[in-house]
């Protein structure tokens, strides 16, 4: 679909061209002075520099040509040739008709789609999901839906942390508590029990003990490291026990992610590439890319012009075990070979930026994906009101499960206070509260620029006023009820502007194309949150200023009902990209 902005840019480019100037100067943008005009074009200044003439003159000449196009109700030239552009209502009528006819309600489509892997899970087997994983899940899910929407072929991978030191720590901890289990008997020839000796709650209890012990006691740490290396070398008992850890963890993870509406196409983990690392290192050693350093095998990634020193990427540690860096490099190879990945985007805490810089450079050097095909879409932390990473009241790491319960409880209380759906059945009200709670949490997270930190403020998140998830759900449900109360308008009834609020709503709807493009190319879902909020507000002003279902004039009523319908369609579309579920009623 050609967006309104594309159409206006097209006209302005033709005008610059006709003045023998580069058409690229005709780029039209949404005005930063909407009180003057909805659009502006600032190309005259740069065009004048290039042509060494007077910008004001160019501005006037281009304006004169644009006036002839008949597409503008008003054009003014400001300062050094800035053009303020107001399209005619006829142009807006055409724009809204195109938008209604578009199955994506104006969302931008990528001309040349790519095969992309999104890596946005990263939970660690044995450690319960905590708030740190919340942002990866929520942002990653939104980026997955967004990329699919614009046309990319996308696979979401959870990339479980199932191969590091924490596995050795757990194995040694279980061995201490239950030394008689067959997993620890080197003479045992199997088969090992099919039933897991531990539950996910056991793991949650065992891991902190093991990790604390390793911090305090060097001998414990050495044991855990040795167990990790043995596991990686394939000791059968350790592998069997490890498989139980992975299986019970996956089950719990599916439940928690499911509650958030987050799904993965691939449930792979670091361990899946263990067989690749040896051959890869061998091949890269032969090519001189992997080199020896203090008994370890590394890839040098520093460059002379680096501002900060970048340490080499560890491929194989001196004790023979592999780590986070080597699994990430080998996973790139796997994703290329198995899925034809042309791009990998990692939605991981910003604090891992150095790790990804090392991995990307190493992958590039190794002839896997080039650096510009690898992206770290890092995110800031969710902080408590004290400005530090969010913790429970007693200072512990908050489990995601408990956080979700907290938000849903709060949403339930709000719904009771607001007397929403007081006549509905208990189950429906509980379902509404669940959706409101999850929407509150997700929208609060997504509406902050990905890269910034934000403060967890439950009261604000679940408020029905302001830029919140509940406000948007309410806006969508309200439009739906306006439509439900009226007779459906004829499907071909044209949308025609009769009030300024309708013009504003159409202009807002028309901006969806560029919002989707910007959110996609910058991997910034908050741009879509801004759009959704702006749209809900524009509808609200329209709703206040205009009669809709009870408008007496048939053609005006039909036009307004169809405008309401396309607003609902686009709002639902963008909320769906954000991964936010709208209840049927509230
Ligand atoms: N498991 C890691 C962590 O909790 C995150 C993994 C992110 N993905 C990746 N490919 N490195 O820190």
If asked whether residues 199 and 62 sit together in one domain, one would say: no
Assign residue 55 the CATH number of its domain: 3.30.1360.70
The predicted model scores a pTM of 0.94
Q: Which of 204, 224, 259 is the last residue of a domain?
A: 259
User: In the prediction, which pLDDT does 146 show?
Assistant: 98
- Return the top range by mean pLDDT from 123-127, 318-322, 477-481: 477-481
Cβ burial of 399 (10 Å; 0-12, 13-18, 19+) is middle
- Ligand 1: which residue has its CA nearest to atom 2? 122
If asked whether residues 427 and 558 sit together in one domain, one would say: yes
Assign residue 525 the CATH number of its domain: 1.10.730.10
C-alpha 348 to ligand 1 mean position (Å): 7
- Ligand 1: which residue has its CA nearest to atom 12? 122
- Ligand 1: which residue has its CA nearest to atom 8? 122
Report pLDDT digits (tens) over 211-264: 999 999 999 999 999 999 999 889 999 999 999 999 999 998 999 899 999 999
Closest Cα to residue 201, out of 254, 240, 252? 252
Q: Which helix (H) or strand (E) holds 155?
A: strand 153-157
Q: How confident is residue 391, by pLDDT bands cut at 50, 70 and 90? A: confident
Residue 20: domain span: 4-87
Counting from 1 in the atom list of ligand 1, the atom nearest the Cα of 270 is: 10
If asked whether residues 503 and 413 sit together in one domain, one would say: yes
pLDDT at 462 over 70: yes
pLDDT at 385 over 90: no
If asked whether residues 83 and 180 sit together in one domain, one would say: no
In a domain, 130, yes or no: no
Q: Which of 87, 117, 135 is the last residue of a domain?
A: 87
Residue to mutate, 117, 118, 120, 122, ligand 1, most ligand atoms under 8 Å from C-beta: 122
- Ligand 1: which residue has its CA nearest to atom 5? 122
In a domain, 173, yes or no: yes
C-alpha 354 to ligand 1 mean position (Å): 13
- Which conformational region is residue 294 in: left (phi greater than 0), alpha (psi within -120 to 50 degrees), or beta? left
Which of 124-133, 222-231, 282-291, 334-343 is the least confident region? 124-133
Q: How confident is residue 539, by pLDDT bands cut at 50, 70 and 90? A: very high
pLDDT at 393 over 70: no
Distances (CA, A) of 341 to 247, 374, 562: 27, 10, 42
- Ligand 1 residue neighbourhood (C-beta within 6 Å): 119, 122, 124, 159, 161, 328, 346, 348
In a domain, 470, yes or no: yes
Residues 6+ apart with CB under 8 A from 145: 576, 577, 578, 579
In a domain, 544, yes or no: yes
pLDDT at 536 over 90: yes
If asked whether residues 179 and 54 sit together in one domain, one would say: no
Counting from 1 in the atom list of ligand 1, the atom nearest the Cα of 352 is: 12
User: Stretch 158-174: mean pLDDT, rounded?
Assistant: 93
Mapped onto helix, strand or coil, the DSSP state of residue 375 is strand
Instruction: Spell out where 37-152 has E strands.
Output: 39-41, 72-78, 82-87, 115-119
C-alpha 399 to ligand 1 mean position (Å): 18
If asked whether residues 178 and 80 sit together in one domain, one would say: no
- Ligand 1: which residue has its CA nearest to atom 11? 328
Counting from 1 in the atom list of ligand 1, the atom nearest the Cα of 160 is: 1
DSSP code for 488: P
The answer to whether 23 and 14 have CB atoms below 8 angstroms apart is yes
C-alpha 473 to ligand 1 mean position (Å): 33
493, two tokens: 């009834």
Mapped onto helix, strand or coil, the DSSP state of residue 397 is coil
In a domain, 126, yes or no: no
Between 421 and 53, the more confident residue is 53
User: In the prediction, which pLDDT does 395 show?
Assistant: 66
Distance between start and end Cα atoms, the chain: 34
Counting from 1 in the atom list of ligand 1, the atom nearest the Cα of 331 is: 10
If asked whether residues 414 and 522 sit together in one domain, one would say: yes
Residue to mutate, 161, 246, 328, ligand 1, most ligand atoms under 8 Å from C-beta: 161
Which of 418-422, 450-454, 566-570 is the least confident region? 418-422
If asked whether residues 442 and 567 sit together in one domain, one would say: yes
In a domain, 188, yes or no: yes
- Return the top range by mean pLDDT from 114-118, 458-462, 582-586: 114-118
Residue to mutate, 348, 362, 374, 377, ligand 1, most ligand atoms under 8 Å from C-beta: 348
- Sign of the CA dihedral 332, 336, 337, 339? positive
Measured at the CA of 136, the angle between CA 135 and CA 141, to 5 degrees, comes to 100
If asked whether residues 444 and 567 sit together in one domain, one would say: yes
User: Stretch 193-211: mean pLDDT, rounded?
Assistant: 92
DSSP codes of every residue in 173-239: HHHHH-TTSGGG-TT--SPPPSS-SS-HHHHHHHHHHHHHHHHH-HHHHHHHHHHHHHHHHT-HHHH
pLDDT at 453 over 90: yes
C-alpha 325 to ligand 1 mean position (Å): 10
C-alpha 123 to ligand 1 mean position (Å): 7
Rounded to the nearest integer, the mean pLDDT of the chain is 94
Residue to mutate, 117, 157, 159, 374, ligand 1, most ligand atoms under 8 Å from C-beta: 159
pLDDT at 472 over 80: yes
If asked whether residues 82 and 170 sit together in one domain, one would say: no
If asked whether residues 412 and 549 sit together in one domain, one would say: yes
Residues 6+ apart with CB under 8 A from 431: 583
If asked whether residues 198 and 83 sit together in one domain, one would say: no
Number of folded domains that form the chain? 3
Q: Which of 33, 65, 87 is the last residue of a domain?
A: 87
In a domain, 369, yes or no: no
Q: How confident is residue 60, by pLDDT bands cut at 50, 70 and 90? A: very high
Counting from 1 in the atom list of ligand 1, the atom nearest the Cα of 124 is: 1
Closest Cα to residue 249, out of 261, 237, 259, 241? 241
User: In the prediction, which pLDDT does 90 show?
Assistant: 98
């Amino acid at each position: 679909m050609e967006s309104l902005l594309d159409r206006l840019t097209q006209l302005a480019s033709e005008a610059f061209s006709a003045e023998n100037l580069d058409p690229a100067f005709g780029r039209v943008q949404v005005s930063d002075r909407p009180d003057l005009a909805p659009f502006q074009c600032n190309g005259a200044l740069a065009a004048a520099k290039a042509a060494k003439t007077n910008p004001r003159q160019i501005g006037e000449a281009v304006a004169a040509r644009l006036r002839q196009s008949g597409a503008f109700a008003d054009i003014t030239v400001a300062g050094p040739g800035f053009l303020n552009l107001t399209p005619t209502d006829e142009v807006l009528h055409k724009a809204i008709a195109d938008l209604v006819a578009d199955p994506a309600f104006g969302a931008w489509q990528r001309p040349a789609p790519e095969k992309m892997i999104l890596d946005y899970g990263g939970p660690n087997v044995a450690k319960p999901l905590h708030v740190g994983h919340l942002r990866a899940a929520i942002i990653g899910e939104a980026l997955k839906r967004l990329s699919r929407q614009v046309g990319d072929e996308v696979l979401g991978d959870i990339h479980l942390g199932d191969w590091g030191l924490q596995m050795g720590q757990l194995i040694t901890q279980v061995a201490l508590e239950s030394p008689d289990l067959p997993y620890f008997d080197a003479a045992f020839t199997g088969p090992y029990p099919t039933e897991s000796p531990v539950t996910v709650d056991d793991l949650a209890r065992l891991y902190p003990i093991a990790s604390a012990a390793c911090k305090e006691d060097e001998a414990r740490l050495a044991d855990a490291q040795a167990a990790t290396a043995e596991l990686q070398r394939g000791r059968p008992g350790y592998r069997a026990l490890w498989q139980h850890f992975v299986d019970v963890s996956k089950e719990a993870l599916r439940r928690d992610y499911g509650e958030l509406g987050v799904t993965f196409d691939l449930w792979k983990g670091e361990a899946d590439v263990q067989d690749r690392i040896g051959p890869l290192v061998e091949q890269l050693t032969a090519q001189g890319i992997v080199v020896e350093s203090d008994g370890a095998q590394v890839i040098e990634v520093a460059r002379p012009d680096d501002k900060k020193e970048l340490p080499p990427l560890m491929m194989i540690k001196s004790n023979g075990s592999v780590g986070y860096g080597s699994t990430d490099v080998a996973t790139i190879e796997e994703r290329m070979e198995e899925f034809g990945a042309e791009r990998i985007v990692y939605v991981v805490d910003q604090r891992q930026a150095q790790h990804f810089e090392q991995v990307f450079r190493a992958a590039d050097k190794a002839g896997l994906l080039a650096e510009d095909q690898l992206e770290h879409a890092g995110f800031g932390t969710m902080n408590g009101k004290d400005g530090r990473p969010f913790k429970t009241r007693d200072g512990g790491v908050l489990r995601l499960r408990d956080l979700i319960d907290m938000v849903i409880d709060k949403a339930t209380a709000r719904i009771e206070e607001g007397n929403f759906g007081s006549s509905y059945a208990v189950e429906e009200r509980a379902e509404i509260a669940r959706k409101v709670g999850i929407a509150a949490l997700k929208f609060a997270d997504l509406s902050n620029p990905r890269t910034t930190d934000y403060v967890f403020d439950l009261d604000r998140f679940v408020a029905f006023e302001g830029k919140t998830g509940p406000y948007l759900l309410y806006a969508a449900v309200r439009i739906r009820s306006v439509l439900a109360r009226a007779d459906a308008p004829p499907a071909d009834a044209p949308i025609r502007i009769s009030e300024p609020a309708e013009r504003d709503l159409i202009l807002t709807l028309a901006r969806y194309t560029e919002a989707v493009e910007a959110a996609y190319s910058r991997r910034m879902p908050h741009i879509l949150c801004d759009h959704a909020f702006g749209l809900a507000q524009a509808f609200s002003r329209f709703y206040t200023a205009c009669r809709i279902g009870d408008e007496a004039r048939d053609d005006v009523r039909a036009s307004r009902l169809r405008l309401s319908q396309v607003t609902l369609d686009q709002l639902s579309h963008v909320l769906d990209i954000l991964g936010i579920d709208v209840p049927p009623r509230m």
